[in-house]
Amino acid sequence: MVEKLTQYHDMTFIWAEMSFMSKWWQSLENRPQMREAVRNLIKRGQLEIVTGGWVMTDEAAAHYYDMIDQLIEGHQFLRTDVGLTESPVSGWSIDPFGHGMTFPYILQKSGISNTLIERTHFGWKQELASKQSLEFVWKQIFETKNMSDLFCQMSAFDLYSIKFTCGPNTDICLQYDFRRIAGEYSESTAILITDENVDQRAALMIEQYGRLASLFKHNVALVPLGDDFRFNYDTEWDQQYKNYKHLMDHINKNPDLYNNTEVTFGTLNDYFTEVHKRMQKINGNNYPTLFGDFMPYADVYVDSKPHYWTGYYTTRPFWKSLSRELQHFLRSAEILYSLARNLVRQNGNPEMSARLDKDYDYLSTARQSLALFQHHDAITGTSKEPVMEDYAKKLHRAIVDSLGLISHSVQFLLVKDHSVMPTDMNAAHPLTAYLFPDVQRSSWDELTQKVVLSVPSVDGRKIVVFNSHIQTRIEVIRVLVKSPVVRVIDTQNGNEIQSQINPVFNTTAAIMSDAFELEFIVSLPALSLTTFAIQSFEYRHRTHHRSKVSLFLSDAKQEEDNPFSLNENKINPKVFNFDTPFDNDYELETPYISVRFDGRTGFLTHIYDKRTNYLQKTRLMFMAYKSDDFYSGAYLFRPSKFDPMQNITERFPIMRLVKGELSSELTVIYPNYIEVKFKVYNTYASIGSALQMHCKFDVSKRADLMNWELIMRLETDINSIDSKDGRKRFFVDSNGFQMMERKYTDNLAIEGNYYPMTSALYIEDNDSRLTLLSSHSHGVSSPFNGTVEVMLERKLRFDDNRGVGEGVLDNKLTISRFWIAIERIDQNTINEPIVPNLSQLMHSLLSTLLYEPIVLASDGREDRPIHTALRFLSDGFDCNLFLVNLRTLPDSDRFDAPSLSSLLLVHNRDNSCRVSQQISPSSLLCSEPKSRPKKLLHVRTQSINECSLTGTKSLKWLTDLSDIVVPRMQINAFNVTFVK
């Protein structure tokens, strides 16, 4: 690239993904002249960095934390190693399968003013092209004062390859792809441009360019020349340049022949500059305004029939869950590392400080592993099995390193005397610590497991709990212990904390004798470390209530009128009488709700709100779509038209019921298919107002589930039909950042009515709202009034002819975690136009679901001089504010070394005004602070500077933390520089 761009001074090139550029840049370590040549190409506009993210992120299944983080990683690389003084100004998202509403906002906040998108529903392209509206200002549904508008162009045609970019006729476009590599198959029909044929070839090319330009008011055409795996041979650079240069020179020298057309090489920024220049003259740069997104994506370019790319919202849920697990641990590692490194450094221990500086390598690797997986062929699950395995191994390694970083940072933070380096902190491996996480992951393809802790009879064992939120939280803490005769002590005051012992099952019905779950509920100060002691005691002194355990079988089929009839219409006779603890249905209760379950199936049927005396039908069922062979694959979802829906739960479920003083749970097991655990908490805290549900499944063990797509469906009596248009309405989050209204279109098949859910969905009427919170992304829909449907897993034998070249058969044991809640609607807000959003309660529960407290256990030595608690804020921040990250920035000229600054990202999630507040503020997971904290405790800050989202552009200086202001629904970034 450098050689050819230097040779051909008018040729241009764009580069989007920094994950590749960083590796190449590293290889140039001993070639400073080459690096300088790249900088010069960028300075003179011949080489443009577009978007500048670590990858070209997916925009459906990716969470906004990850989308921002990969963009920060890319922009900071450009700032430090490449030496760019300004971030990219042009966005380039040409391959994600549909475009969401969140990433445009992230681009805006990162300094990008123009962007280009490609893969949208063919109907959108046709509609906007017919109105010359393929260029528009893309706005958010919430207020964005003091933000510049994002200008967006949608590509007019199907794909970004040369075959599709020159105009509407793909056969003609293929005549202008001049790549010829010996031994390589090519669709190209191009011929060498000569003086003899240049006039005819130029005229044919200009005809296509003219048709493309006619779709825009300004008559400027952008014709990308490239594709996947292009410009990887010197020969192609020469072939494309020389032939196009011949055509351009001929056209530009003969304006009379070509209607004064001018054709040049140019970058994306060159194009947008010309467009705005033209449009200023035409109408003062006045563009149409668009709200919303472009989901789902559908194509017609394979066989001229619509195909919906809605399968990848769910494909390979194990990987999607793994990514979110890493996000959780990495976020805590980032926050703790920023605090620990600066505390240790400011307390004058160079040895400890040097050790933490070494840890930055692990932090960077974990960041880049998470960032890499946000690629639009990674988190989507749309790569071949060996590639997906490689991604998973990187994620697994990053989880292990993040947990090590957490342990290491916490042990340094808790040391009372930082002037002395304890000998047991000087382990051979940088991440070895005397504190260790209470979870472990032995292999990339296994679920994370709790570590079973022994409790010494003399000193007991201490655990340290980290609350990563900037509010005081009421949370449930669970650890596994080897003995059931233990209690929990608050080390601050020596008081015993109420706790509960639950059984641990190692098979469907076998209770382990050497592992027990210890559970307790505590209040954790904002951004704090709190120590609790687990102590053994004599069994005869036990005062705890013992949990009641029941185990029983059921017949999930309906009882027939004549259970012994052999009539062919009586195919499911009742053949056994099962003795269960309940005559009919059964319930789990909290102070706020009573949850009812079907006595036969074990599944949820109703939620009763005790506060308002309201009974809500919530019938849960598990089913599957039978896939349409060769049309349902990693990307596409299309059920069989002949026999689409299958009931795949077996007949005789096994049920386990555990009832205790703090919590009660019902586990329903359909062997070899699914295990569903329902749990409620007997507390006046807000976690007692909703139902927790975990679904564990492994379809790899069932050969008969081939080409089936597993779904979970919740049927309610909520009237979710919009009275204005008669369509079924549901609300789904966009990348965990905001909620969007969706409508079910009856004249489209189910695959055209699926949408991506990253974290949450709800349906509502004028009386109530049902909300479902999710631990990772799924495809969702609402095919019937009052119904929500969530796709859990897909097992597909066949490829869908969209690029993977194989089915999806590498299914793993996976857990999908949910909260289900019923909330009442405030009757005073029924007719008010309100931006869709979750309630404060649901936002709090979502934080509990995604970012639960980190628990560390001591190694058994209890004689160390360490703090029993450490608070980094004197009080919490407003409940609407969520701490996205506190991320150590790289040094100004070394991407691989930490600086004295951290990037503080804060999201004002706001909350819905439509939902009645049924819980007193004192019982909420979060309560409003009396006053805002002005500074961090234990670490000293030198300055706070509001900046662009990726930390590359300074905006304004703040006096202290209390000056932090984040508008509703928005995210702001602040550069926090610590004292040397």
C-alpha–C-alpha distance, residues 826 and 810, integer Å: 47
pLDDT digits (tens, 9 = 90+) for 889-930: 999 989 999 999 999 999 999 998 888 876 655 555 566 666
CA 569 to chain centroid: 48
Across the range 730-750, mean pLDDT stands at 96
Residue-level pLDDT at 583: 54
In the block, residue with structure tokens 């380096």: 421
In 3D space, the residue among 733, 686, 893, 781 whose CA is nearest the CA of residue 65 turns out to be 733
In 3D space, the residue among 136, 144, 118, 122 whose CA is nearest the CA of residue 59 turns out to be 118
Sheet of 473-481, strand order: 452-453, 473-481, 511-524, 499-505
Residue-level pLDDT at 564: 37
Tell me the sheet residues that pair with 788.
Answer: 714
Residue-level pLDDT at 561: 40
Angle between helices 64-77 and 317-346 (to 10 degrees): 60
CA-only gyration radius of the chain, Å: 30
In the block, residue with structure tokens 């055509």: 247
User: Would you name the residues annotated as active-site residues?
Assistant: 95
Residue-level pLDDT at 560: 45
Task: Tell whether omega for the bond before 525 is within 30 degrees of 0, i.e. cis.
Answer: no
Residue-level pLDDT at 78: 97
pLDDT at 491 over 60: yes
pLDDT digits (tens, 9 = 90+) for 805-848: 999 999 999 999 999 999 999 888 777 667 999 999 999 999 99
Which tokens sit at 826? 């405030």
Task: Give the contacts of 971 (CB within 8 A, at least 6 positions apart).
Answer: 64, 68, 109, 737, 884, 905, 906, 907, 908, 949
pLDDT at 637 over 50: yes
In the block, residue with structure tokens 């077996």: 650
Residue-level pLDDT at 429: 53
pLDDT digits (tens, 9 = 90+) for 650-695: 778 899 999 999 999 999 999 888 999 999 999 988 899 999 999 9
Residue-level pLDDT at 829: 75
The secondary structure of 187-214 as a DSSP string is --------TTTHHHHHHHHHHHHHHHHT
C-alpha–C-alpha distance, residues 968 and 887, integer Å: 23
pLDDT digits (tens, 9 = 90+) for 137-191: 999 998 887 777 899 999 999 999 999 999 999 999 999 999 999 999 999 999 9
Residue-level pLDDT at 947: 96
C-alpha–C-alpha distance, residues 390 and 392, integer Å: 5
pLDDT at 1 over 70: yes
* DSSP-derived pairing of the beta strands 439-440 and 435-437: unpaired
C-alpha–C-alpha distance, residues 116 and 451, integer Å: 48
Q: Which domains does the chain have, with CATH numbers?
A: 1-96+98-154 (3.20.110.10), 157-283 (no CATH), 309-451 (1.20.1270.50), 621-825 (2.70.98.30), 869-978 (2.60.40.1360)
Q: How many CB atoms are located within 10 Å of the residue 804 CB?
A: 21
C-alpha–C-alpha distance, residues 212 and 450, integer Å: 59
Which tokens sit at 609? 């709100």
C-alpha–C-alpha distance, residues 250 and 233, integer Å: 27
Task: Give the contacts of 84 (CB within 8 A, at least 6 positions apart).
Answer: 42, 49, 78
The identity of residue 84, as a single letter, is: L
802 versus 421: the higher-pLDDT residue is: 802
C-alpha–C-alpha distance, residues 92 and 94, integer Å: 6
258 phi, psi to nearest 5 deg: -125, 35
pLDDT digits (tens, 9 = 90+) for 13-31: 999 999 999 999 999 999 9
475 phi, psi to nearest 5 deg: -130, 155
Which tokens sit at 145? 């004062």
540 phi, psi to nearest 5 deg: -70, -15
Which tokens sit at 968? 């509703």
Task: Give the contacts of 127 (CB within 8 A, at least 6 positions apart).
Answer: none
Whether the CB-CB separation of 636 and 308 falls below 8 Å is answered with yes
Across the range 338-347, mean pLDDT stands at 94
Ranges of H-type helices in 814-924:
840-850
Q: How many CB atoms are located within 10 Å of the residue 20 CB?
A: 12
C-alpha–C-alpha distance, residues 640 and 668, integer Å: 29
Whether the CB-CB separation of 761 and 769 falls below 8 Å is answered with no
Which CA distances in Å does 404 have to 69, 428, 686, 897?
Answer: 20, 13, 32, 19
pLDDT digits (tens, 9 = 90+) for 562-588: 433 333 444 455 666 666 655 567 899
Residue-level pLDDT at 125: 95
pLDDT digits (tens, 9 = 90+) for 293-340: 999 999 998 888 999 999 999 999 999 999 999 999 999 999 999 999
pLDDT band for position 931 (50/70/90)?
Answer: confident
pLDDT at 541 over 60: no
Tell me the sheet residues that pair with 289.
Answer: 137
Across the range 381-403, mean pLDDT stands at 97
The identity of residue 742, as a single letter, is: R
pLDDT digits (tens, 9 = 90+) for 584-632: 678 999 999 999 999 888 999 999 999 899 999 999 999 999 999 889 9
